[in-house]
Chains A and B, each alone.
Chain A
């Protein structure tokens, strides 16, 4: 086995970066930029007080991305304030998901994490009211095609993304964490019941620690678009390291996965986080997570696919099978998303009936 890409080595051992040559830095910056992890590298080095030891040329690039990340954090706070204001009258309980949740809960995973959309979850029964309130406050629908509207509203776990007409920010309003048509249904009520209120923000919640990890795992290992795959795995790594300090975290994680029908994505998350990023996972937790292990041939196949597809989308991190791996995982994700007949119908519509985006 050849040594892993520089960015993987850097994420495993940020401390070793101080001895990197300039030529290696050149390649590392390119891999990290493609994986949207440049600001993350800055954060990892900054936490360890090592920024000053980095040669000036690459440090300059790290500082550039740090400036964007700082601004990003500010912008997320502002956007969440705006969303809260817009939805105040609906009285709907709002749960922030993923990036926005990490930022607002001030988790280490938020440091240097750049993302474009704010994701929230509200009860399915409040969807109409929430959508109307958002529209009243300047968010507009992005998908105008009737089929797309139906696709989201009937089969998906979210409304079509909405974009604010002045700020151009995008919000995804979810009512569950996986599509209605998927073969597993993590119960949103259970997730909501366990959610924690954010300090200083009445009515604004984030998932409980175990649920945060499980949602991130479900998202990564059910989703076909893996361009941000490594970034998402870094989230999982960071969440696991952070929550490890709580004694009840690891025993509760697998139990909760069973309850939410998410043992398979949890198994993959722990396996690939440990394999790729050397995330410390206690052996009994790993053993318990075997409950979600697929059969041997499937596991061998998944290892082959995920160890490729989770690499940064940069030519220096690809081999001749990488593109095939990404395509196969895309097909797999669609397979998990909808039953075969519905999927066939959806793909047929997308291929032959939906209007083509203009060139």
Chain B
């Protein structure tokens, strides 16, 4: 059963009462909330996601609720609760859906230590994954959103999970977060894209989320092999350009973008070393999305090491 098999009123009342058991990649989140904007966002962006057994095992127990204080009467807020605990300060109620997305990222990045977790988008084609680590503002999510509408499969927009042991990339396809100008850029680039309504004045500016392609969601159990590590950088007026990055530099820069690299100790080092070893690494400058897609489509996977 998928989220789309519930009518909006059914979804709303289930979320309000028992909560839903939402399967995203290999994780099940028990989510409970009575906030309408969250139900709306779930219905719109998570329509294709499977619902796990109601009341069964869940990895995370999450709820979004207004804090119980006087402020709710004049300046309503929202709290993200992980099994009753609030890891973050409350935000304005209007930001409830983005907060859910951030909170779900936190659930994975602060617990799932069987993976090396890199703050990076990751897309796949022909079994080969391209990892796009980058600081905010580099155009990583914009590029990722464009790629997944041009034949690349979304594995994740924020969290690249590299399994310790075999180094496989474990998909965690979830809505792609778009910020500021990139919301309209993607709207123009892919008029069919389903994008949630804009929420302004968040800590990262105006944000909206884009529904991942159905194919990416249904194939969430298919792992992939890392083939490229590409640091994108949007630069107005520049032609698309790949520059080979020495592996040693790439290693350090990916490690800087990993959530649990040092926590994993030796295992983190080995997993990272194998990942970089198996990948071609580049700096990538672009300004026109179509040129960027062309460059990506022309990428050659590294020769299998044997």
Contact = CB atoms under 8 A, between A and B. Distances in A.
A25 B263 CA distance: 26
B113 A68 contact: yes
Given A67-B263, A71-B263, A26 B57 contact: yes
Contacts of A67: 113-114, 260, 263-264, 267
Interface string B240-278: 000000000000000000001011110100000000000
B61 A64 contact: no
Nearest to B27: A60
Contacts of B264: 67, 71
Contacts of A74: 265
B265 A64 contact: no
Interface in B148-179: none
B57 A22 contact: yes
A58 B57 contact: yes
A61 B113 CA distance: 9
B265 A315 contact: no
Contact of B114 (A22, A57, A64): A64
Contacts of A23: 55-57
Interface residues of A, number: 21
B57 A25 contact: yes
A63 B113 contact: yes
A315 B81 CA distance: 13
A26 B53 CA distance: 13
Contacts, number: 45
Contacts of A26: 56-58
Given A30-B61, A33-B83, A64-B112, A22 B263 contact: no
Interface size class of B (residues with CB under 8 A): 10 to 19
A314 B265 contact: no
B265 A70 contact: yes
A22 B264 CA distance: 28
Contact of A315 (B55, B58, B84): B84
Contacts of B56: 22-23, 26
Contacts of B84: 314-315
Interface in A294-321: 314-315
A328 to B, nearest CB: 22
A224 B264 CA distance: 34
Identify which of B57, B84, B260, B264 gathers the most chain A CB atoms within 10 Å of its CB. B57
Contact of A61 (B59, B265, B267): B59
A138 B263 CA distance: 22
A30 B55 CA distance: 14
A33 B83 CA distance: 10
Nearest to A71: B263
26 contacts: A23-B55, A23-B57, A25-B57, A26-B57, A26-B58, A30-B61, A30-B83, A33-B83, A57-B59, A60-B59, A60-B114, A61-B111, A64-B111, A64-B113, A67-B113, A67-B114, A67-B260, A67-B267, A68-B113, A70-B265, A71-B263, A71-B264, A74-B265, A314-B83, A314-B84, A315-B84
Given A61-B111, A63-B113, A64-B112, 12 more contacts: A23-B56, A30-B61, A33-B83, A64-B111, A65-B113, A67-B260, A67-B263, A67-B264, A67-B267, A68-B113, A68-B263, A70-B265
Interface of B: 55-59, 61, 83-85, 111-114, 260, 262-265, 267
